[in-house]
Amino acid sequence: MKNFLRHTIEKKRQYLIEQLIALGAYREDDKQLFTLTLTELETEYEYFSKISQEKEASGRE
Tell which residue, 50, 49, 59, 56, has the closest CA to residue 23: 49
* CA–CA gap between residue 56 and residue 4 (Å, rounded): 37
Task: Give the predicted TM-score (pTM) of the model.
Answer: 0.85
Determine contact, residues 21/27, Cβ cutoff 8 Å: yes
Collect all residues with Cβ–Cβ distance below 8 Å to 56 and sequence separation of at least 6.
none
User: For the segment 1-59, what is each residue's pLDDT rounded down to a tens digit?
Assistant: 779 999 999 999 999 999 999 999 999 999 999 999 999 999 999 999 999 998 888 87
Q: What pLDDT is attached to residue 44? A: 97
Q: Residue 28: its pLDDT value, please?
A: 92
